[in-house]
Structure 1
Amino acid sequence: MPELPEMENYRILLNQNIAGQMIMDVQINRAKSVNVEPEEFIKNVSRQKVVTVERRAKQLLFHLENGYILLLHLMLGGRMFYGTDEEKPDRTIQIQFSFGEQNLYFIGLRLGYLHLYDRTGLEKELSDLGPEPIGQDFTVDAFLKLMERKRGRLKSKLVDQQFISGIGNCYSDEICFHARILPMREINELNQHDVTQLYQSIRFVLQDALKHGGYMEPFFQGDTLTGGYDSLCKVYDRQGEMCVRCGAAIIKEIISSRKTFYCSGCQS
């Protein structure tokens, strides 16, 4: 599932390519991918300019000229591609926006969605999200306060979107590895040094992943940035491989129904 670095990378690319452009046509091939009747969706989106694209947590917000906002959550298996009809991937396309010769394809929205909201509806939908971990307000002091009196396993709390927004399965493991902390540790067992290191690792890993384009497939033909972090993951999906730091084998376990990867040699 795309996480903060992937969606932030998409936000940057979308603003470079479609901000200020008019959506000339809308095609909906899967009605369940939208939250209103397809006819109503098309009526409110077609012939509208995309003013800007924002990101909140793992979701993108397409602000339209008429005041409506499209909320995109790719969930598991979803992606986007921008290009011509000849360039598009050979995949099932649930929704398509046309910008003249170029199109924005929403692909693999089996669980994902593109919902239409007014400002009030959107604020209600996003009201329970936690702080943004790459935002200016997310300081070490704010994180120390956030962690006070918290209980439960570290992995489970890091992926809790009401606690911190944007971190999921992949980056929670990469963050724990960078911090040298086991993901199954109980939060109330961590000392101030552990929590401070965890904060630094959150900031570093997410920014590093964004710098390398996250782990998604290319956004357009010739895109050499998107997906660059896939080969740089240290533990995620590396079961049985040797740890790049200490040489021990990477282990896979299930924590709270989530696959979790870590090194027992240099994480404690």
Structure 2
Amino acid sequence: MPELPEVESLRRYLVREGLVGSTITSVKLETKPESPGGTGTIIGANNANGQTITNITRRGKQLALELNDFALGVHMGMTGQLHFLLPEEPEPRFTRALFTLNSGTRLALIDPRRWAKLQRFDSSAEAFDGLGPDALDDRLTADDFAGRFDKRTGQIKQLLLNQQLIAGIGNIYADESFHRVKISPARRANTISESKLKSLHKAVRESLEHALEFILNNPDEFGRPYIVDAYDDRMQLHRKLGSFCPRCEIPLVTKKFGGRTAYFCTSCQK
């Protein structure tokens, strides 16, 4: 699933390619999905015809295309991608929504597994309603971060993935952050010291910022549905079966937390 660095790089790509200021001249939505199932939804996007895109904002893993009269919230799900198409390019397979712009260029939402969500909201603020602060928002201080967890009894891995507490942290970057500060993903949040939680805040920022820097410096990798696979080999923690802890040189273990698999070291992560 695209996480904060991937979605932020996508936002910058859309801005760089001139989407802001473009007017949508036609909208085409899928009618007979090739890949049934999934939990994705498209609601209200057909009303975008004639609207000009005035801004593109992000919180966590979600985007909002701000239009003249409303906003379109975009969540990529597991396999969603946004691609620009030249007028002569054929419509890709698994295209769920196709926006033609006044330049003749088209913007396609491609999603083989149909888990992406595209929905009309009154504003970007409404699109992000229910999300916690963005993990890279400078207004989220170390004190604020620690205060969101220090009294909670849940396991820190599940809490860190809760987008209502902090938006943008996914499975891979959570594991990397825990390893950096030697915290077990199984720890109860209220048993972790304030100083350790503040260190976790720093580790989260570093993990996300380094991933974003890698993506921006490797434009040939852009557009892969799982860009984190490319970055994974540059992380300290290699999330693969049979991998070893880079500190302790013992095999990493795996455990499920709320349906998500964590990789961690039982020796140095306590």
TM-score by length of 1: 0.84
Displacement of 1:142 in angstroms is: 1.4
Contact 1:173 1:236 in 2 (8 A): no
Q: How is 1:123-142 mapped onto 2 (pairs within 5 angstroms)? A: 123-142=125-144
Residue 244 (structure 2) aligned to one of 242, 245, 263: 242
Contact 1:33 1:114 in 2 (8 A): yes
Q: Specify the code of the residue in structure 1 equivalent to 2:149.
A: M
Contact 1:129 1:164 in 2 (8 A): yes
SS in 2 for 1:6: helix
Segments of structure 1 that go 5 or more residues without pairing to the other structure are none
Whole-angstrom CA distance in 2 between matches of 1:25 and 1:226:
34
- Residues 74 and 61 of structure 1, relative CA distance in 2, 3 Å threshold: same
**Which residue of 1 is the match for residue 8 of structure 2?**
8
Q: Specify the code of the residue in structure 2 equivalent to 1:34.
A: I
Name which of structure 1's ranges 164-173 and 93-102 shifts more when overlaid on structure 2. Answer: 93-102
Q: Specify the code of the residue in structure 1 equivalent to 2:26.
A: D
Q: Specify the code of the residue in structure 1 equivalent to 2:14.
A: L
Contact 2:4 2:60 in 1 (8 A): yes
**Which residue of 1 is the match for residue 30 of structure 2?**
29
SS in 1 for 2:215: coil
Residue 205 (structure 2) aligned to one of 174, 192, 203: 203
**Which residue of 2 is the match for residue 151 of structure 1?**
153
Q: Specify the code of the residue in structure 1 equivalent to 2:6.
A: E
Residue 229 (structure 1) aligned to one of 207, 216, 231: 231
Whole-angstrom CA distance in 2 between matches of 1:166 and 1:111:
18
Contact 1:9 1:213 in 2 (8 A): yes
Contact 1:53 1:61 in 2 (8 A): yes
- Residues 259 and 227 of structure 1, relative CA distance in 2, 3 Å threshold: closer
Whole-angstrom CA distance in 2 between matches of 1:148 and 1:267:
18
SS in 1 for 2:11: helix
**Which residue of 2 is the match for residue 191 of structure 1?**
193
Q: How is 1:1-268 mapped onto 2 (pairs within 5 angstroms)? A: 1-17=1-17, 18-30=19-31, 33-36=41-44, 41-42=45-46, 44-64=47-67, 66-84=68-86, 91-99=93-101, 100-108=103-111, 110-119=114-123, 123-213=125-215, 218-219=222-223, 228-235=230-237, 237-268=239-270
- Residues 80 and 198 of structure 1, relative CA distance in 2, 3 Å threshold: same
Whole-angstrom CA distance in 1 between matches of 2:174 and 2:192:
16
- Residues 30 and 161 of structure 1, relative CA distance in 2, 3 Å threshold: farther
Contact 2:215 2:222 in 1 (8 A): no
SS in 2 for 1:97: strand
Q: How many residues align?
A: 256
Q: Specify the code of the residue in structure 1 equivalent to 2:12.
A: I
Whole-angstrom CA distance in 1 between matches of 2:170 and 2:127:
19
TM-score by length of 2: 0.83
Segments of structure 2 that go 5 or more residues without pairing to the other structure are 33-39
- Residues 91 and 143 of structure 1, relative CA distance in 2, 3 Å threshold: same
Whole-angstrom CA distance in 2 between matches of 1:131 and 1:169:
18
Contact 2:150 2:194 in 1 (8 A): no
Task: Report the RMSD for the aligned CA atoms in angstroms.
Answer: 2.8
Contact 1:212 1:228 in 2 (8 A): no
Percent of residue pairs bearing the same amino acid type: 28
Whole-angstrom CA distance in 2 between matches of 1:240 and 1:84:
44
- Residues 117 and 178 of structure 1, relative CA distance in 2, 3 Å threshold: same
